[in-house]
């Protein structure tokens, strides 16, 4: 009898936990949407330019590169890791795609494939170093950050590369949905696909399982090595896509491209409400909102003529606010 | 004799022996590639070039042992330096400028410590935010241009005795002090306790909030001293000062054999890690490599050493680990 009662109690506890979980999820999602909405309202009331179609388009174009890189960073963080090599992989991918199209006059799909191959290769190296060798993610990806940046700058040499292939111009200029160019559509499509896949496929559940409780995941027969490597490879490829888009946005490649983009991606994920302690909590689509909030703030401050260095300072402040909000919503862990 | 030998070659020293060998290999390679690099001035130059790294690594050892990694030192060195420059420009008093710079470093350390210890935020994220905003402010302080502080500070910091500048005794003092603090005081023992098991430490009656804040203040102090020395060495405050220093310090600590997981480590290991990384940095710089090869070689050396270190470590406690995991698995199965 007592066993039955305790089992019943267990079910009730579980039900309560599920309800609480739903409520918390709703609060978090609504919270981040509300913050984005409040900022939108405040900015559009205080600046007549902010909501102009041209400016909205600018915001989306500006966030599309970091936005795509942040998808990969989100997946890695969901799995309990961290990827510092994002910016360097973006540079490497930029250099390869620009060099192959502009210097070697190859077709753009070939260049894109080569760039994504290299980016995926760095991701594979990250995954092997973390999952097989056992180096901490922050140190392993710091090492590959140096390697990828060195490789990219070596290929680039001490020069700028200007791209001539029309595909880059099309990506940034040709409008497909509403007033938004192809590169924005690419970002939105990637968010839709990855968010859907993470929620519905077994692989998506595995990412959460590995990030949430490593030991339980292993004991229930999941391949930690496989999932970790796959997540890092996907993140690498997404950084490669971000690099290709960045070439489109700027039209040229220079040595410092991509520098620090890993931190912008991490900020987008954190502002979007990713769990900051251990992984296993968070949603891919919320990272898009995080990137949008950061993009709106940057854009607004630029309109108001605030110096970029102080914009960076405000960004740091925003990050503190985001983790404070996260702490208040989720409670001490 | 055999007891001494057994102790020297015990498993806990495997990392140390490995890194010592790696350091010698590195010295040999640099000596082979460019024989002139190893001369009477090498040690002096290593100390002069790597003082901020050495100082921050002492505090970083405490941060990592207590599981509160601090990512702010690089940016904070630039910001504290900028404060030194701004106050000196405005007031003309060097003493006041130094006090303001060190005060800034301590103040931000206190703020970070408060956010982590009292509010309960994650240390990596709090200090990542500081990494970003402090760099922004230090660039904004003078539009990214250097702020001149005159020759007074440079004369003191660069005054040399047999090629050693004033920084050498500062570094030695920091390591002796850091070792005493970590190995011989209550605060040191509490640092290990908080890193090993934070909940147990709190239940054992340790005021974890207070000691966490003290650890962030220790980092603030090291940042303040490093900032003053950096400004003195260059004769001006620069917004790019300390770029990437936090990650270098973490690497030095980890390569020395301290685990990122927290709860264990020592100042001696960090010293060895700093020596290794200093030789790597200075040796590569001395080869006159372009930026691309510099980064590539640095990345490859660090990844190789970290990988081999783990393989060596794993070979030595493979047997122990297997036994432990089997026990855990059996316990987990028995519980279901």
What ipTM was reported for this prediction?
0.85
Rounded mean pLDDT, B246-250: 93
Contact A59, A299 (CB under 8 A): yes
Residue A121: name the closest of A95, A99, A147 by CA: A147
pTM: predicted TM-score of the whole model, two decimal places: 0.87
Can you give the pLDDT at residue A1? 43
pLDDT per residue as tens digits for the range B254-266: 999 888 888 888 9
Mutation target to probe the B interface, by most B beta carbons within 10 A, among A92, A137, A142, A322 is A142
Can you give the pLDDT at residue A220? 84
Pick the residue from chain A with its C-alpha nearest to B307: A133
CA of B3, closest CA in chain A: separation in Å? 33
Find chain B residues with C-beta within 8 A of A158's C-beta.
290
A276-285, B50-59, B189-198: lowest mean pLDDT where?
A: A276-285
Interface check for A151 against chain B (CB to CB < 8 A): the answer is yes
Tokens of A25: 């999820």
Residue B51: name the closest of B285, B228, B310, B219 by CA: B228
Rounded mean pLDDT, A13-33: 73
pLDDT per residue as tens digits for the range B73-96: 999 999 999 999 999 999 888 999
d(CA B310, CA B307): 5
d(CA A93, CA A73): 16
Band the pLDDT of A2: cuts 50, 70, 90.
low
Can you give the pLDDT at residue A169? 85
Most trustworthy range by pLDDT among A56-60, B110-114, B154-158, B288-292: B110-114
Other beta carbons within 10 Å of B44: 18
Most trustworthy range by pLDDT among A72-86, B22-36, B144-158: A72-86
d(CA A90, CA A81): 19
**Partners of B164 in the beta sheet?**
B161
Find chain B residues with C-beta within 8 A of A144's C-beta.
299, 303
Can you give the pLDDT at residue A237? 97
């Amino acid at each position: 009898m007592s066993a039955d009662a305790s089992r019943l109690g267990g079910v009730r506890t579980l039900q309560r936990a599920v309800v609480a979980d739903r409520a918390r999820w709703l609060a978090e999602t609504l919270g981040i949407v509300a913050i984005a909405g409040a900022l939108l309202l405040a900015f559009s009331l205080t600046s007549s330019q902010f909501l102009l179609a041209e400016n909205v388009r600018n915001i989306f174009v500006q966030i599309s590169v970091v936005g795509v890189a942040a998808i990969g960073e989100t997946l890695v963080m969901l799995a309990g890791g961290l990827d510092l090599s994002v910016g360097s992989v973006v540079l490497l991918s930029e250099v390869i795609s620009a060099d192959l199209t502009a210097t070697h006059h190859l077709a753009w799909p070939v260049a894109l494939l080569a760039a994504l191959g290299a980016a995926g290769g760095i991701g594979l190296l990250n995954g092997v170093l973390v999952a097989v060798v056992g180096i901490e993610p922050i140190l392993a990806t710091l090492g590959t950050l140096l390697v990828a940046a060195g490789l990219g700058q070596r290929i680039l040499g001490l020069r700028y590369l200007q791209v001539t292939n029309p595909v880059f111009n099309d990506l940034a200029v040709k409008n497909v949905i509403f007033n938004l160019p192809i590169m924005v559509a690419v970002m939105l499509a990637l968010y839709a696909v990855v968010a859907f896949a993470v929620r519905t496929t077994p692989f998506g559940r595995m990412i959460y399982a590995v990030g949430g409780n490593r030991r339980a995941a292993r004991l229930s027969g999941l391949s930690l090595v496989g999932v970790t490597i796959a997540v890092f490879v996907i993140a690498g490829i997404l950084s490669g896509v971000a690099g290709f888009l960045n070439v489109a946005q700027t039209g040229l490649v220079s040595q410092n491209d991509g520098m620090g983009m890993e931190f912008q991606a991490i900020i987008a994920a954190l502002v979007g409400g990713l769990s900051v302690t251990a992984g296993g909590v968070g949603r891919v689509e919320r990272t898009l909102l995080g990137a949008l909030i950061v993009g709106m703030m940057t854009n607004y401050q630029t309109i108001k003529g605030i110096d970029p260095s102080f914009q960076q300072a405000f960004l740091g402040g925003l990050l503190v606010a985001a983790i404070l909000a996260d702490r208040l919503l989720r409670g001490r862990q | 004799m055999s007891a001494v030998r057994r102790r020297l070659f015990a498993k806990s020293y495997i990392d140390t022996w490995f890194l010592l060998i790696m350091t010698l290999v590195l010295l040999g390679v640099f000596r082979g590639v460019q024989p002139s690099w190893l001369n009477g001035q090498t040690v002096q130059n290593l100390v002069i070039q790597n003082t901020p790294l050495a100082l921050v690594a002492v505090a970083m050892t405490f941060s990592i042992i207590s599981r509160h990694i601090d990512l702010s030192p690089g940016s904070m060195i630039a910001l504290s330096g900028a404060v030194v420059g701004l106050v000196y420009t405005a007031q003309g008093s060097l003493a006041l400028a130094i006090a303001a710079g060190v005060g800034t470093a301590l103040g931000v350390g206190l703020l970070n410590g408060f956010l982590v210890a009292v509010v309960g935020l994650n240390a990596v994220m709090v200090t990542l935010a500081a990494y970003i905003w402090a760099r922004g402010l230090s660039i904004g302080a003078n539009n990214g241009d250097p702020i001149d502080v005159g020759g007074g500070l440079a004369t003191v910091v660069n005054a040399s005795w047999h090629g050693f500048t004033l920084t050498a005794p500062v570094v030695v003092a920091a390591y002796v002090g850091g070792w005493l603090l970590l190995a011989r005081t209550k605060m040191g023992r509490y640092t290990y306790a908080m890193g090993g098991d934070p909940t147990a430490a709190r239940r054992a009656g340790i005021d974890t909030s207070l000691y966490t804040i003290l650890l962030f203040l220790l980092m603030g102090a090291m940042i303040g001293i490093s900032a003053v020395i950096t400004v003195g060495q260059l004769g001006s405050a620069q917004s790019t000062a300390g770029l990437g220093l936090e990650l270098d310090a973490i690497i030095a600590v980890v390569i020395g054999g301290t685990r990122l997981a927290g709860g264990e480590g020592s100042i001696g290991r960090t010293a060895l890690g700093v020596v290794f990384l200093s030789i790597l940095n200075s040796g590569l710089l001395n080869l006159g490599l372009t930026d691309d090869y510099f980064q590539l070689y640095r990345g490859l050396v660090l990844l190789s050493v970290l990988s081999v270190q783990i393989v060596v470590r794993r070979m030595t406690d493979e047997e122990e680990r297997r036994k432990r995991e089997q026990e855990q698995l059996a316990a987990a199965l028995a519980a279901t």
